[in-house]
């Protein structure tokens, strides 16, 4: 929804909710700034100055706005005032929400969703919404078992980073179903390539955000890591050419690329203090000394592309084909 329309609808809703009596279309037209700017106040200053076309245009917009508010859930009653004119009112008792009560799991999920916006322009709005829920008693604390009872955790704050500049424009493009264009550098490439994508959804996995969508040039579903998008994301006013699936398995796709669909094991050397995601998946870990550890990790399709991201902190020991694939990818980057 465009910002101007959203603001106009909000003002209309507030006007209907705040009025002490039902208001006619004429009164609403003169009270809401967006209507005044577009059509005037509706009062003619001289003979013949009331524009019929303006009246008709305002009536059409008002009816659309009223229908949109009703579709959003606002209960608007139509009544007849003392002068026999049609008037409108949104009674507060008909539009009052029931008390909001969330359990610990729901409150945690809502808090995580709000923290996604910490680096985006809706950070203040998300923070304000959580504060209102806390003030109304709708955000319970998270209780943990403790000897003699339960203890409330007040310092635990889960965090989902959204630092990539591409996050917000891609989120809006997914919401509005608008194709996007951006430059993307694959893990084994030295230079970026232009991609034309119909974005479906965003998902965070192991601290990284991924976009799933339809790659127009490759005519196939693709998943892109936001940290590899270089330059701005540009959206286009055009329709999607491919249907959006009911369920998009972003995480499963990324897991396959990261070797999660393991068919064997691999041995690697990993620099001490580096590669936490690899350590989290390790089947066995052994200290080698001199600042290096040896890890045994699951090995599947795409593991070579993931290991390349750790650069000089990882050395593949076996199997030989994995070592060769990693060396080929590193050589391609160096030569590019």
Whether 173 contacts 221, CB under 8 Å: no
pLDDT of amino acid 207: 66
How do 284-289 and 292-300 pair as beta strands?
antiparallel
Lowest mean pLDDT among 72-81, 139-148, 224-233, 327-336: 139-148
For the segment 62-104, what is each residue's pLDDT rounded down to a tens digit? 999 999 999 888 899 999 888 889 999 998 888 876 776 777 6
Lowest mean pLDDT among 116-120, 143-147, 223-227, 293-297: 143-147
Confidence of residue 38 (pLDDT cuts 50, 70, 90): confident
The answer to whether position 304 is within a domain reads yes
- b/e code 275-308 from CB counts within 10 Å (16+ = b): beebeebbeeeeeeeeeebbbbbbbbebbbbbbb
pLDDT of amino acid 197: 95
How many structural domains does the chain have? 4
Confidence of residue 24 (pLDDT cuts 50, 70, 90): very high
**79 and 36 belong to one structural domain:** yes
Q: Which of 241, 234, 203 is nearest to 219 (CA)?
A: 241
Whether 296 contacts 279, CB under 8 Å: no
Secondary element (H or E) of residue 210: strand 208-215
The answer to whether position 299 is within a domain reads yes
Whole-angstrom Cα distance, residue 255 to residue 21? Answer: 59
Q: Which of 87, 63, 92 is nearest to 75 (CA)?
A: 92
The answer to whether position 148 is within a domain reads no
For the segment 104-163, what is each residue's pLDDT rounded down to a tens digit? 677 767 766 666 655 555 556 656 666 666 655 555 554 434 445 544 444 444 555 567
Domain that holds residue 205: 167-250
**228 and 266 belong to one structural domain:** no
Other CB atoms within a 10 A radius of the CB of residue 324 amount to: 12
For residue 109, which phi and psi values (nearest 5 degrees)? -65, -40
Q: Which of 165, 241, 250 is nearest to 196 (CA)?
A: 241
**212 and 274 belong to one structural domain:** no
Confidence of residue 198 (pLDDT cuts 50, 70, 90): very high
**85 and 108 belong to one structural domain:** no
Overall pTM surpassing 0.85 (yes/no): no
pLDDT of amino acid 199: 93
The answer to whether position 84 is within a domain reads yes
**79 and 12 belong to one structural domain:** yes
Summarize the confidence of residues 193-220 as an average pLDDT. Answer: 87
The answer to whether position 177 is within a domain reads yes
The answer to whether position 124 is within a domain reads yes
**171 and 239 belong to one structural domain:** yes
For residue 319, cis peptide bond before it (omega within 30 degrees of 0):
yes
**18 and 55 belong to one structural domain:** yes
> Of the candidates 250, 275, 306, which is a domain's last residue?
250
The answer to whether position 303 is within a domain reads yes
The answer to whether position 149 is within a domain reads no
- Please report the sign of the dihedral spanned by the C-alpha atoms of residue 244, residue 245, residue 247, residue 252: negative
């Amino acid at each position: 929804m465009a910002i101007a329309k959203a603001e106009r609808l909000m003002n209309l809703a507030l006007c209907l909710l705040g009025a002490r009596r039902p208001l006619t279309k004429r009164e609403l037209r003169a009270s809401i700034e967006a209507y005044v700017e577009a059509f005037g106040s509706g009062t003619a200053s001289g003979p013949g100055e009331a524009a019929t076309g303006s009246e008709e245009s305002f009536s059409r917009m008002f009816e659309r706005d009223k229908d949109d508010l009703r579709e959003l859930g606002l209960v608007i009653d139509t009544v007849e005032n003392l002068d026999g004119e049609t008037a409108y009112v949104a009674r507060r008792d008909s539009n009052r929400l029931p008390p909001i009560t969330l359990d610990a799991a729901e409150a945690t999920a809502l808090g995580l969703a709000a923290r996604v916006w910490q680096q985006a322009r809706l950070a203040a709005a998300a923070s304000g919404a959580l504060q209102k829920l806390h003030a109304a008693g709708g955000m319970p604390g998270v209780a943990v078992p403790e000897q003699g009872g339960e203890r409330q955790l007040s310092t635990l704050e889960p965090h989902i980073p959204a630092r990539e500049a591409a996050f917000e424009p891609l989120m809006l493009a997914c919401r509005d179903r608008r194709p996007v264009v951006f430059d993307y550098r694959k893990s084994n490439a030295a230079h970026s390539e232009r991609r034309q994508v119909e974005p479906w959804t965003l998902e965070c996995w192991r601290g990284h955000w991924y976009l799933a969508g339809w790659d127009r040039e490759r005519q196939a579903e693709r998943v892109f890591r936001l940290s590899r998008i270089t330059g701005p994301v540009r959206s286009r006013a055009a329709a999607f050419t491919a249907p959006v699936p009911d369920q998009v398995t972003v995480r499963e796709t990324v897991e396959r690329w990261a070797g999660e669909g393991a068919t064997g094991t691999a041995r690697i050397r990993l620099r001490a203090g580096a590669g936490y995601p690899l350590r989290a998946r390790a089947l066995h870990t052994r200290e080698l000394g001199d600042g290096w550890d040896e890890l045994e990790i699951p090995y599947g399709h795409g593991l070579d592309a993931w290991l390349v991201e750790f650069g000089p902190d990882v050395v593949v020991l076996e199997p030989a084909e994995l070592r060769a694939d990693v060396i080929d990818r590193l050589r391609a980057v160096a030569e590019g």
